[in-house]
Amino acid sequence: MSPVGDRPISFETHPDRYRHWKLELDDYVARLTMDVRENEPLDEGYELKLNSYDLGVDIELADAVRRLRFEHPEIRVIVISSAKDRVFCAGANIKMLGSSTHGFKVNFCKFTNETRLAIEDASRSSGQHWICAATGTTAGGGYELALACDEILLIDDGSSAVSLPEVPLLGVLPGTGGLTRLVDKRLVRRDRADVFCTVAEGIKGKRALQWGLVDGIATKSKFEGLVKDRCDAALAQPAIEGRVDPGVALPALEPTVEDDSIAYRHVTVAIDRAGRKATLTIAGPDDDYPKTADEILEAGSDLWHLRAVRELDDALLRLRFSEPEVGLVLVKTTGDPGAVVRADHALHAANSWFSREVLLLVAEVLRRYDCTAKSFFALIEPGSAFAGTLVELALGADRAYALDDPDDAPSIRLSSLNAGALPMTHGLNRIQVRHLKHPEKAAELAAAAAMSRLPGDMGTSAAAEVQFDPESAEEAGIVTIAADEIDYEDEVRLAIEERVSLSPDALTGMEANLRFPGAETMETKIFGRLSAWQNWIFQRPNAVGERGALTVYGEPQRPSFQWSRT
């Protein structure tokens, strides 16, 4: 059950059911207007004043971001604004944060950041230009939402300001990457950023523009003209080729949810709360996967890649928020590995706007998998379909065990998608991460995977070039341990028993350090700092103690700090 109100959270919604956002379309421009209903929070006990948001508000935003990419490929500019007078967004609701469990706070910050990353990916990869039109107070998470956009426009009315007041007011950090985006994305000077992040009232008008905190300012009478000018400038830029077909609707997934299981069309989750583990199983595609770009578009939301990855995404979110004590996820697959490889080749070869968006979503959900604070063990057994897209789950797992049964050994295969189409948060693919010490091995595997994208029968010679049995997969660095039929069961059983007995806190820290070797990017910095520093600060008495800043916010008493600094 969820930490919020002790009830399950649904991560599915639709514009027809939005309570806090309004989506309007006008030719190539979409307007996404924030109008949070104060008295309709996700849970009881707080009001969503001043366009402050909780998880329910951000679930709607995440839904809108995804639908704009799939259902409205013609949209090239999105203007995000507020319907409230003199306020854009006051950030995450403080009463909600103060009353939530520690785990919920951290997962909430992670989800909101992933939504903002999706906005940035839509800009980078889908040719959508996001403009924040801030007409009033833009504080905390509200400014972090603005930072995710390509441009920030601020009304210059003498009172409207941008701010990140978490440090002076709450004793915590801007939890969805605000500090990192400030200096890594907008390249604000660190001394100016230091002043900005410790001035609770924020910075207005000309100074905000001069310091690079916003990209444009205008008086109230000229503000809409400024927004229109920036929209026109964005529309004047070349569009991404091919984004002209009708969009693809994303219908509800409607899983069957029982007390200890979740069942979708291609994904199932079996939950063992007593054992603090779950088994996540993904079924591969049938062999009737569409062959051409037109057929793939016609399949729409029923396309295996799209449907399966949406189901995986929903399952990961439910495990994060509703099963906090499930620490280990056993990842299994079923089906024909050859069918997965052939499906991957067809999708990769389609080279349409729709196929690109599907691949981008697959990559996005796999990054959510990488950043989920649970241990993942992939179990590669007879009947498995760890191939192509699905082998990424084994490569991204903390460990991968393969049963090396000479009479019925599972086949592990690579497809062209494993050669770099599904990057991790730091830009490397998962094969490269496996072979940082010997990059030539990664290059050899990637080259073989890329070469497998050949015309003709993908189930024969081309696929055979990158096909492994458990022993050769272990030698290639794809699996951790290949054990024979005598040792496999005990090996896996002991590994599971050991893993669930270890400190969850230590495992979260260990996994966050081990999963992303190599150079850092803005994304890895955000998630690393969120997992470590924000996680730590959210448990410190200076923030959440009886007289911590977050606890007493809005009360007449002042916070009481422990002044020792480490």
Q: Is residue 514 part of a domain?
A: no
Q: Is the pTM of this model over 0.75?
A: yes
Residues 27 and 114 in one domain: yes
The tens digit of pLDDT for each residue in 437-492 reads: 999 999 999 888 887 754 444 444 444 458 999 999 999 999 999 999 999 999 99
- Tell me the sheet residues that pair with 533: none
Confidence of residue 2 (pLDDT cuts 50, 70, 90): very low
The tens digit of pLDDT for each residue in 110-151 reads: 999 999 999 999 999 999 999 999 999 999 999 999 999 999
State the Cα–Cα distance between residues 496 and 490, nearest whole angstrom: 10
Residues 189 and 329 in one domain: no
Residues 492 and 402 in one domain: yes
Q: Is residue 532 part of a domain?
A: no
Residues 210 and 105 in one domain: yes
Q: Is residue 502 part of a domain?
A: yes
State the Cα–Cα distance between residues 133 and 16, nearest whole angstrom: 24
- Beta strand 267-272 pairing with 277-283: antiparallel
- Please give the pLDDT value at position 6: 57
State the Cα–Cα distance between residues 315 and 261, nearest whole angstrom: 10
Residues 178 and 64 in one domain: yes
CB atoms within 10 A of CB 506: 9
- Please give the pLDDT value at position 456: 47
Residue 545 contacts residue 102 (beta carbons within 8 Å)? no
The tens digit of pLDDT for each residue in 14-69 reads: 999 999 999 999 999 999 999 999 999 999 999 999 999 999 999 999 999 999 99
Residues 214 and 264 in one domain: no
Exposed / middle / buried, residue 14 (Cβ in 10 Å: 0-12, 13-18, 19+): middle
Q: How far are the Cα atoms of 129, 406, 470 from residue 410, in angstroms, in the given order?
A: 45, 9, 7
- Please give the pLDDT value at position 528: 81
Number of domains in the chain: 2
150 DSSP 8-state letter: S
Residue 397 contacts residue 378 (beta carbons within 8 Å)? yes
Helix (H, G, I), strand (E, B) or coil at 2: coil
Residue 348 in this model has a pLDDT that exceeds 70: yes
What amino acid occupies position 407? Answer: D
Residues 83 and 154 in one domain: yes
| Angle (CA) 286 386 66, round 5° | 70
State the Cα–Cα distance between residues 437 and 427, nearest whole angstrom: 17
Taking residues 308-329, report their average pLDDT.
97
Helices 102-126 & 141-148, crossing angle to 10 degrees?
A: 20
User: What is the Cα Rg of the chain in Å?
Assistant: 24
Residues 144 and 226 in one domain: yes
State the Cα–Cα distance between residues 436 and 276, nearest whole angstrom: 33
- Tell me the sheet residues that pair with 120: none
Instruction: Please name the residue that has the structure tokens 């991968």.
Output: 400
Q: Is residue 537 part of a domain?
A: no
State the Cα–Cα distance between residues 97 and 347, nearest whole angstrom: 42
Q: Which domain holds residue 497?
A: 260-508
Percent of the chain whose predicted confidence (pLDDT) is above 70: 96
String of DSSP letters for 207-231: HHHHTTS-SEEE-HHHHHHHHHHHH
Residues 205 and 267 in one domain: no
Residues 180 and 270 in one domain: no
- Beta strand 29-34 pairing with 216-218: unpaired
Q: Is residue 398 part of a domain?
A: yes
Report residue 498: phi and psi, to 5°: -65, -45
State the Cα–Cα distance between residues 253 and 10, nearest whole angstrom: 11
Residue 355 in this model has a pLDDT that exceeds 70: yes
Q: Which of 477, 508, 539 delimits the end of a domain?
A: 508
92 DSSP 8-state letter: B
Residue 400 contacts residue 377 (beta carbons within 8 Å)? yes
State the Cα–Cα distance between residues 52 and 142, nearest whole angstrom: 8
Instruction: Please name the residue that has the structure tokens 């977050």.
Output: 550
Percent of the chain whose predicted confidence (pLDDT) is above 90: 82
CATH number, domain containing residue 175: 3.90.226.10
